Chain A
Amino acid sequence: MDTASNPPSEPQIFDSLRLELRRGCLIVAVLAQLRVEHYGYTLRKALADQGLAIEESTLYPLLRRLETQQLLTSQWREEDKRNKRFYKLSPQGESILTQLLAEWNSINDSVNNILQHSDQR
């Protein structure tokens, strides 16, 4: 339990911080990607194709949680002779996504400003 005597390695620290950084970003990416209707597996592939790989065990429960928050709508539909649950961004989700993107851009600008100032010193 004594973390002081056994500090985490640099890769461990990076992984932990990367996870924190990605957590919020993934939600924005999922909401944005669901402006077009997808079911779980094709959504995961679409995100991976855009360079944002996400584990199934993270994505699928996230979709249900976002639906519970009424940011997504879903419907079961048959495709290729199989029933699949398709998700799409709801009007409320669109509104939240707009706000999140504004926040995202604001944070991005601030971080860029900080980096520029620190580079000048």
Chain B
Amino acid sequence: MTGYVVRRLFQMALALLGVSVIVFALIHLVPGDPVRIALGTRFDPDIYEALRARAGLDRPIVVQYFAWLGSAVTGDLGVSFRSGQPVAGLLLERLPATVTLAFSALFVALAVSIPLGIVSAVRSGSKLDYLSTATSQIAVSVPDFWAGIMYILLFSLVLSWLPPSGYVSFLESPVEWLRHLALPALTIGLISGSIIFRFVRSAVLEALNQDYTRTARAKGLSERQVIWRHVMPNAWIPIVTVVGLQLGFLLSGVIIVEVIFAWPGIGRLALLAVQDRDFTVLQGAVLLIAFMFLVINLLVDLLYGYLDPRVRYD
């Protein structure tokens, strides 16, 4: 087992390296220049050249990459072109907001999708099943930015139940934290939940049609025992896979929702970095997201070992 984990960690490092190369190449290939943007539309060619030289932007790309890599492995992710602040600090500042939103959205998603999915599968073909499937179809098709703004207009402007945007830390006021979290979590959670719902439903359906389910029923077990002792343990595996993927997606800081709800997360930071061609911040943000994604993947794989006795890691 330890051997497996060590191998996976090594693969993670390789994956992160690959990601860093791709991001570096992409952002340098796109036209646009952080120094010119930082100087604004009023600039002087001499100052421009001087700043570029100072930032090392006139060196060949490969040299720049290895210079960045060299500092990155020691933990120095560089400094933002836009603000002059250390990248690591910027990321850490915004991480709590993104993580909070990601896990809350996941909570909403699971609270909706798992019960509904199980019931829909068990009562497959019933009106409930059709209604849930249809609703989830609509929910997935609705663009998140539109849904978000609609919720704001309804719950904030019309009903005045919730604040329209912003983030309040839990430590400052748990009540306000929840009130500000509700709409963005709902916006993403319902969409994510709809995706998970379909997987839950099909995973449970699949397990319900297996021989072991028929055997369990034949043995005279109650429906509840059949579901929880035989069907679900098998259904968990594909469900956990998709939940892991969704969580990874959520942690990338759903950019659009962060912008609409003025949520101070990593997604918004990354968007600003792209607009400003702020290479260092973008590298840092993408690497952080990739890292979190890979860690979740690893945890999901390890979770299989716990859920499925057939899985062995050696």
Do A and B interact with each other, yes or no?
no
B interface with A by C-beta (< 8 Å): none
